[in-house]
Structure 1
Amino acid sequence: MLKKNSFLITVLMFISGLFLSCTRNLGYSVLLWSNPEHELFDGTLLKVHIKSNISQVYVVSIPGSKENFEIPLWQATEPESKGKALRQQKRFSEFEHTYASVKLDGLPIRSDAVNTSKQVYRLREGEIIRCLYKGEGAAVTNGKGNMKGEWLRVLTETGTYGWCFSHNLELFYSENYDVKSVKESAVKMNDLKGENKNGDNAIIESLVTKKWYPESFQNMIKVGRIDVNRMNPDYGFSFGINIDENADSVFAGTAVLNTENAAGSWTFTDIKKTAEKEYEFTGANLKMSIRGATSDTMILQYSEKGRPKVETLVALSEDIEELISNELMRRQDELKRIAQAGPVFKSSNYGTIKFNNENSVTWSNYKLLQPAIISNKALGSVTVTLDYFIANSLKSSYDGVLTMHFTGMEDGVNFLYKLTDTGLRLEDATHAPIKDGVVTSRSASPMILFFAK
């Protein structure tokens, strides 16, 4: 193996010599993850000779040494001048040899030190990450108050950088080159802690820290149809408990349920396990069943006016507000596409549709559509929206559903639409069946209108 590595280094050095002067190097890097093979601690300054994107390695040496060796690209900072590398080394010094074990499965690493920023990685429970430095970020709340912790710039063993809030991290100091051996001892230490801590409490803590939303949210995400009228970031279930990792957990609070079809709150003094994955809230008429291999499905049972009620919720890591924002942006882009294709569409029978902008239309001479489709009270000023989706079976014939909100009409008028090279085809969908925001099929004997550009 040593001969093979030496041969590879020799070949890489030879190839690089075709492009670089033998006296030049790429600069200096800081080692980010302790390397047991070469007995190097994180924070070591390295001189970088070659970068191989094919082998995903740097060929480096310790400054002042003539011995070259390989390290994975992810284990070191990008090569730069010696002065800049030394400043990087100083920046990492506060968290020198500091790693963390992940306490919560699915804990996100984010692009910025804000709990609503984009997720770049989801950590596994027990996974080890490198802590680089602290950052200023937005406070993280759990519905009752700010959680204890701080934002850390971290690195995974697969080379992903990002920001992670430390509340669910167990930091430890590694005085060993081999972090994996420290990882094993860290896991054993966590197991010992688990023996001293009520296992049921640990499970409940895990449930409390998750974000619970209506099951319909998960279904929308799976099929890629975000109904902004039904996906509300305020919907979901909150335990109303503030978990303090530095104290014994006290499971008392006021749980709140808020969905499209249900709402309620329950004050309780404890959460007790009654059977495997079955719990009841002491002092409240509320029970909870947990399902799924990763315990990401919750079934709540309660009573409302003497009648039993059941609500299914799921734990999601997605940023709901971001999903809604992206969907609204998609709709606006689609309306812009239609408007820019015209902006005027004419029909000898059904009048003229003029797009003033992506949301505003003036429709004139539509008398043949009155009163069957458009009310006699309607005026020609129209607001256009994309409120519904179409079933997959309709996608070969239509682009979607346009809803025309005429001034003077209480309800919008739905049309299946298709933008063609020559114009805009509309099909009356007034009586088309709609389920969960999706037009599932065409109306019986619909009227079809064509407007030329």
Structure 2
Amino acid sequence: MPLRTSPDSYVENIIYRIPKETILKIIYIGEETKAGSLKGRWIQVLTKDGYKGYVFDYSLEVFDNITGTIITSPLDQASQDHATNTFKNIKYLRPLYYEKMIANNTYNTNLLREDYGLFFTHKNEIKINIPELTLHFKFNAVEEVKPNGFLFRSETSKEDFILLLKETQNYYKSIIKAKERNLEATFVIIEQNIKKIILEAEKQNQNLISRLISYGTLINKQYGNLEFKSDKTFVWEIDKKIYNLPNSGTFEIIGLNPKLQISYKNAIKLITKERKEYFCLLDYTNNALQLIFISPKSVEDGLIITDDKDKMAVILFNNDQPKQNMLTKQSQHTT
């Protein structure tokens, strides 16, 4: 972006090229005008390395670093309607983690739902449904935020708004301040049939649940017997005084990074009644099941994304031999 000695578009006035994503200190904001075919304001700025001059705000995202106020430009009604209709025509703005799940063909069905996303209704309402937030926001005014954003306001509260910034062709960053909630989230355009993906993921998960149930009682003399039940609960006869591992609760199927699928077959999460979570990679045969307990630091968006070099525990269970393999590894972190 060119920095100029004066607020005009002459090439000879360029004194510096400002790199992308640079943070600038604003000295003065001029009145709205035109620079060639573009409409905006000339802004006097100071760079971190001491350059002082003018830039045109068409390529800037401007914030007040004292109050946190977003600098906006008013739009006439036709421009507001055009901006609103543009978003109404985007039917599939989904949480960013959908893209990762689909690319990896690995799904957490608790986080993958057909109604998750950001949607515009015909009644000028923005519906947001994500794990962190469910919100219906009625807006009455649209303002422009340079260079690629729009701010939606509600007449019922001057403090509430939703800001949508187009980062690239398919990615939108949102800043949500509504109904006493403050949240930032990124959404991505996903055109795949989510309902079809969910059905396939649920089928895969049910196959794994059926396998775990079919083992019946899984035996390990050192760590105690383990059983998975049809209501998605488990009972583990483990000595809690010795081992910091769960003895009962519920279990969920979660996903794992495709790179881990070379060494492991699936992953589950064990949840105690106190809501403490334990993440496990799985390996199995017809008669044996191995649980590899992984640190929560290796988990992102409900998926195990990295292998844990310092595994909490690796435990092998067997369901048909009185003498079965012992623990293959127990880290010092398990107490």
Q: Give TM-score scaled by structure 1 length.
A: 0.42
Change (3 A) 1:349 1:279: closer
Partner of 1:288 in structure 2?
Answer: 164
DSSP 3-state at the match of 2:172: strand
Tell me the SS of whatever aligns to 1:299. Answer: strand
Equivalent of 1:434, from 278, 287, 299?
299
Decide whether aligned partners of structure 1 residues 373 and 328 sit closer, same or farther in structure 2, where only a CA change above 3 A counts.
farther
Q: Per the alignment, in what secondary structure is the counterpart of residue 318 of structure 1? A: coil
Which structure carries more helix by proportion? 1
Unpaired segments ≥5 residues, structure 2: 1-77, 321-335
Q: Distance in 1 between matches of 2:145 and 2:201?
A: 42
Shift of 1:208: 0.5
Q: Is 1:372–2:246 an aligned residue pair?
A: no
Alpha-carbon spacing, 1:430–1:218, altered in 2? closer, same or farther (3 Å): closer
Q: CA deviation at 1:451?
A: 1.8
Residues 447/337 of structure 1: CA separation in 2 closer, same or farther (3 Å cut): same
Q: CA deviation at 1:225?
A: 2.8
Query: Paired residue for 1:448?
Result: 314
Match of 2:87 in 1: 207
CA distance in 2, matches of 1:442, 1:363: 23
Q: Distance in 1 between matches of 2:172 and 2:168?
A: 9
- Give the partner amino acid of 2:120: F
Q: How many residues align?
A: 235
| Structure 2 residue identity aligned to 1:348 | K
**CA distance 1:227–1:424, change in 2 (3 Å):** closer
Cα distance, 1:325 vs structure 2: 3.8
SS in 1 for 2:262: coil
Q: Say if 2:295 and 2:308, in contact at 8 Å, map to a contact too.
A: no
**Cross-structure match for 1:334:** 208
Which amino acid in the other structure matches residue 165 of structure 2? S
Report the CA distance between 1:287 and its aligned residue: 4.0
After the TM superposition, which residues 175-324 of structure 1 pair with which residues of structure 2 at under 5 Å, given as runs? 204-211=84-91, 212-242=93-123, 253-262=124-133, 266-271=137-142, 277-281=148-152, 285-293=161-169, 296-301=170-175, 303=177, 310-324=184-198
Query: Hey, what's the Cα distance between the residues in 2 that align with 1:297 and 1:432?
Result: 26
Does residue 1:417 correspond to 2:282, yes or no? yes
Q: 2:225 aligns with which of 343, 352, 362?
A: 352
Is the 8 Å Cα contact of residues 373 and 428 (structure 1) preserved in structure 2? no
Taking structure 1 as reference, are residues 363 and 275 closer, same or farther at Cα in structure 2, changes over 3 Å only? closer
Provide the rounded CA distance (Å) in 2 between the counterparts of 1:445 and 1:226: 23
Task: Assess, with a 3 A threshold, how the Cα gap between structure 1 residues 348 and 225 changes in structure 2: closer, same or farther.
Answer: same
In structure 2, the residue matched to 1:163 is: none
Residues 104 and 257, structure 2, Cα contact 8 Å, conserved in 1: no
The letter of the residue matching 1:451 is F
* Secondary structure at 1:385 match in 2: strand
The CA RMSD over aligned residues, in Å, is 3.9
Determine if contact 1:290/1:298 at 8 Å carries over to the other structure: yes
Contact 1:425–1:451 (Cα < 8 Å) also in 2: yes
Higher relative contact order (CA 8 A, sep 6+): 2
Identity of aligned residues (%): 15
The one-letter code sitting in structure 2 at the alignment partner of 1:420 is T
Structure with the higher strand share, 1 or 2: 2
Number of the residue aligned with 1:145: none
Judged with a 3 Å threshold, the aligned counterparts in structure 2 of structure 1 residues 371 and 443 are, in CA distance, closer, same or farther, namely farther
Distance 2:228 2:134 in 1: 41
Shift of 1:418: 0.9
Task: Note the C-alpha offset of 1:437.
Answer: 1.6
What is the rounded CA distance, in whole Å, between the counterparts of 2:175 and 2:87 in structure 1? 16
- Counterpart Cα distance in 1 of 2:152 and 2:234: 54
Say which of 401, 406, 409 aligns to 2:267: 401
SS at match of 2:209: helix
Distance 1:435 1:274 in 2: 32
**Equivalent residue, structure 2, for 1:184:** none
Preserved contact between residue 432 and residue 441 of structure 1 (Cα < 8 Å): no
> How many Å apart are 1:353 and its aligned residue?
3.1
Following the alignment from structure 1 to structure 2, what is the Cα–Cα distance between the partners of residues 443 and 431? 13
Q: Which amino acid aligns with 1:425?
A: Q
Query: Greater Rg, structure 1 or structure 2?
Result: 1
- Indicate how the Cα distance of structure 1 residues 391 and 371 shifts in structure 2: closer, same or farther if over 3 A, else same: farther
State the TM-score, normalized to the length of structure 2. 0.55
Match of 2:252 among 374, 385, 395: 385
After superposition, the C-alpha distances for 1:319-358 in whole angstroms (9 at most, x for unaligned) are 4344334323321111213443x33432232333345548
One-letter amino acid of the structure 2 residue matched with residue 411 of structure 1: K
Secondary structure of 2:94's counterpart equals: strand
Aligned positions of 1:152-191 closer than 5 A: none
Shift of 1:419: 0.2
- Return the letter of the residue paired with 1:261: E
